[in-house]
Amino acid sequence: MSELVKYSTRDGVAIITVDNPPVNALSTGVPAGILAALKTAEADATVQAVVLAAAGKTFIAGADINDFLNVVAGKAELPVLHPLLHALEDSRKPVVAAIHGMALGGGMEVAMACHYRVAVPDAQVGQPECKLGLIPGAGGTQRLPRLIGPLKAAELCAMGDPIPAPEAVQLGAVDQIIQGNLVDGAVAFAKSIANRPAHKTRELTAKLAGNHSAGFAALREQVRKAKRNLNAPQVAIDAVELSTTLSFAKGIEKEAELFKQCLRATEAQALIHAFFGDRTVAKIPDVPKDTQAFPVRNIAIIGAGTMGGGIAMAFANVGIPVRIKDTQEALDRCLANARRNYENSVKRGRYTKEVMEQRMSLITPQTSYDGFDHVDMIIEAAYESMPLKRQIYSELDKIARVDCVLATNTSTLDINEIAVATGRPQMVIGLHFFSPANAMRLVEIVRGSATSKEVIATAMAVAKALKKVGVLVRNGFGFVGNRMMFPYMYEAQFVVEEGATPEEVDRALAHFGMAMGIFSVDDLGGLDVAARIREEQHQFDKPGLRKPLASDKLVALGRLGQKAGKGWYLYDENRKQTPDLEVVALIRKTAAEAHIPQRTFTEAEIIERTLYGLINEGARILEDGTALRAVDIDVIYLNGYGFPAYRGGPMFYADTVGLKKIYDKICEFREQHGARWEPAPLLKRLAEQGKTFASFDAEKAAHA
């Protein structure tokens, strides 16, 4: 047999084992290997039944997504699974899929073409293609409804979430749960059904009967809300609905057509870009994969405030013990918050009370530096003050082991200045977590000029251990994410001072797909925090630079945002937001006093004024090397700033709009609004050459 597919027999049962680590994807060679093994089993008179299983940690977890990219790039034809699936289904000997781990996408489609499916209790099955902007393309939308009914099948294909095996048994997608050894159980099951006539999934019709049109209409509406702005989930519903009106043969023909349409659409390209982005950011040209990272088995945190508490939970969640130092009062508050947070998860059934207690037991509160001399990493999350941080770092220098990584969670301060407060600046790095740190997936990893490669490798490994995505950035005010936020936020404020309302701006951004509008974001972060940064960084000291006016007035009125119950919006005790006419009146009055002409804005104009400023800054960041690649900026915005994944991140989005179009618009804005709209030189260059940010990344990779 092939390397990728193994064949053996036991007690008259052939066992076909897919062995294509790490996830047994259906890469080239795997379908052909299964087919060849099946032919061998059919030709062997001693074989009565067949088990299709997989080696390693999972059943077939899906297609090889690189294959899809090659199709889009015109380098390959779309791999077609139907001959294999028909061969499995037409086999004269019953075929049993033995599922552990995940049977997803193409893996589930293979399993459904088998005559039976058995699974271990913690296995999961599903059709998650819509998460990549696709639909099942190998009969999934036609076989699944025949097994579990069209409405449930449409729901699973449109939502994309896998279901646990016991639920799949109830629905009819899996026939039996196997306790104990899966292959042993599957062989026993195969023997028990060997002489029974096996049904072909594609010929089942019972569950398709009835009129489902009202159910489909309701589902479309539900999915429209849950999957805002997304097309693939709706197409998945269309495809499943076709199973109720077309023959199987016509159904898979139509499914293939719809799949190809989805694959070529921007939605899929963006989601696939985001999917591979997570992997790309792990590649750091001057820190090779084999760089020796320091082991991080335990950590300590300084500061048990908003960030320190969240970071402690993030480590406890993955079983890493944490010491946390602050005042007794701050520690009490921090532990009470952590407990409340965990209790809510227990109430929602995410895990048991025992798991919660185990996580709580990993967090040791303390008011002293006791034990800090033993830990592998210390993360400082004290107030944002350079003198305080320098003081803390000079103390740590006396306590911490020489091989202890010293990380700071600062969001605005200079890592180099903090690092030189120690005698070992090579051990100092920024770990910029996002709030709430136990939930947010992004960590900006900030390298100082002295940070060692081993310390960078350690920080990347820690982000991975926390199940987060670490993106390496260079030191510099606001790093990547926050630096791009400034032009975005200020332009939004100028737009409201020119006649729009905060609600209109936020609505336009929500329609675009941002998780939160920029004024809601400002209210969450605190208007006073933003004002302090404006002040400390002298952001508007340059003569002739337009300064936002209304936000300072809101701060003076005590409208500091959510924490004050009012900011750009009003908030009730449940933090429910409502627009406030008083704010609009204050903005209008401010604009009148400053003689700012008033006008109305379309949503498209609002998006251009706000997001093009953000993209322009992104181009500067790319050029000055603060971010390694455009895709790194995208990953930061997708995971830390609520940028919609189906737009691929701001730089990918810019490529889809066209850099020339964006550049021309920015030049127009410069004519209208002055120097703050100076186009980034890189943007100008790429636009003039007809290139994209993606091509910039590709050229950089080629020279690395």
Ligand X SMILES: NC(=O)c1ccc[n+]([C@@H]2O[C@H](COP(=O)([O-])OP(=O)(O)OC[C@H]3O[C@@H](n4cnc5c(N)ncnc54)[C@H](O)[C@@H]3O)[C@@H](O)[C@H]2O)c1
Nearest to 227 by CA among 150, 153, 151, 132: 132
**Catalytic machinery residues:** 109, 129
Which of 173, 178, 381, 442 contacts ligand X by CB under 6 A?
A: 381
Binding to ligand X (CB under 6 A): which residues in 229-258? none
325 near ligand X (CB under 6 A): yes
410 near ligand X (CB under 6 A): yes
CB of 315 to ligand X, least distance (A): 15
The stretch among 339-347, 405-413, 485-493, 684-692 that binds ligand X (CB under 6 A) is 405-413
Alpha carbons 334 and 309: distance in angstroms, whole number: 6
The CB-side HSE value for 382 (13 A sphere, CA atoms) comes to 17
468 near ligand X (CB under 6 A): no
Query: Judged by CB, which is closer to ligand X: 107, or 517?
Result: 517
Alpha carbons 13 and 37: distance in angstroms, whole number: 12
CB of 641 to ligand X, least distance (A): 12
CB 232 within 8 A of CB 255: no
Query: Judged by CB, which is closer to ligand X: 172, or 476?
Result: 476
Which of 48, 58, 409, 626 contacts ligand X by CB under 6 A?
A: 409
537 near ligand X (CB under 6 A): no
CB of 644 to ligand X, least distance (A): 22
610 near ligand X (CB under 6 A): no
CB of 446 to ligand X, least distance (A): 11
CA angle 349, 133, 280 (to 5 degrees): 85
The stretch among 81-89, 150-158, 353-361, 380-388 that binds ligand X (CB under 6 A) is 380-388
Which of 118, 307, 314, 338 contacts ligand X by CB under 6 A?
A: 307
Adjacency order of strands within the sheet including 469-474? 363-366, 322-325, 299-302, 377-380, 405-408, 428-433, 442-447, 469-474
Neighbours of 204 (CB within 10 A): 15
CB of 410 to ligand X, least distance (A): 4
Alpha carbons 506 and 512: distance in angstroms, whole number: 10
Q: Residue 518 is which amino acid?
A: I
Run of H or E including 37:
helix 30-43
Query: Judged by CB, which is closer to ligand X: 266, or 337?
Result: 337
Alpha carbons 556 and 553: distance in angstroms, whole number: 5
Which of 77, 383, 402, 672 contacts ligand X by CB under 6 A?
A: 383
The stretch among 82-90, 116-124, 266-274, 384-392 that binds ligand X (CB under 6 A) is 384-392
Binding to ligand X (CB under 6 A): which residues in 284-303? 302-303
520 near ligand X (CB under 6 A): no
Which of 48, 201, 411, 422 contacts ligand X by CB under 6 A?
A: 411
Query: Judged by CB, which is closer to ligand X: 81, or 382?
Result: 382
CB of 412 to ligand X, least distance (A): 6
306 near ligand X (CB under 6 A): yes
The stretch among 164-172, 320-328, 500-508, 671-679 that binds ligand X (CB under 6 A) is 320-328
Buried b (16+ CB within 10 A) or exposed e, 568-601: bbbbeeeeebebbeebbebbbebbeeeebeeeeb
341 near ligand X (CB under 6 A): no
% helix / strand / coil in the chain, to the nearest 5?
Answer: 50, 10, 35
Query: Judged by CB, which is closer to ligand X: 68, or 372?
Result: 372
DSSP string, 228-284: TT-SHHHHHHHHHHHTTTS-HHHHHHHHHHHHHHHHHSHHHHHHHHHHHHHHHTT-B
Residue 690 structure tokens:
């007809």
330 near ligand X (CB under 6 A): yes
Total residues in contact with ligand X, by rule CB under 6 A:
23
Which of 8, 28, 247, 327 contacts ligand X by CB under 6 A?
A: 327
The stretch among 94-102, 115-123, 153-161, 403-411 that binds ligand X (CB under 6 A) is 403-411
- Taken in order 54, 57, 59, 65, is the CA torsion positive or negative? negative
Nearest to 53 by CA among 11, 105, 114, 1: 114
How would you classify the pairing of strands 299-302 and 322-325?
Answer: parallel
Query: Judged by CB, which is closer to ligand X: 311, or 320?
Result: 311
Query: Judged by CB, which is closer to ligand X: 38, or 638?
Result: 638
Residue of minimal CB distance from ligand X? 305
CB 326 within 8 A of CB 304: yes
Alpha carbons 96 and 88: distance in angstroms, whole number: 10
384 near ligand X (CB under 6 A): yes
CA angle 431, 437, 442 (to 5 degrees): 60
Query: Judged by CB, which is closer to ligand X: 521, or 659?
Result: 521
Alpha carbons 468 and 329: distance in angstroms, whole number: 30
The stretch among 203-211, 247-255, 408-416, 620-628 that binds ligand X (CB under 6 A) is 408-416
305 near ligand X (CB under 6 A): yes
CB of 307 to ligand X, least distance (A): 3
The stretch among 430-438, 443-451, 469-477, 676-684 that binds ligand X (CB under 6 A) is 430-438
Residue 317 structure tokens:
């969640």
Whole-number Cα distances in Å, 570 to 6, 510, 514, 578: 64, 18, 21, 5
Rg (CA), the chain: 28
- Taken in order 532, 534, 537, 538, is the CA torsion positive or negative? negative
308 near ligand X (CB under 6 A): yes
CB of 479 to ligand X, least distance (A): 10
435 near ligand X (CB under 6 A): yes
Which of 326, 444, 632, 697 contacts ligand X by CB under 6 A?
A: 326
Which of 13, 51, 382, 591 contacts ligand X by CB under 6 A?
A: 382
CB of 369 to ligand X, least distance (A): 9
> Where do contacts with ligand X occur on this chain (CB under 6 A)?
302-308, 325-327, 330, 381-384, 388, 392, 409-411, 433-435
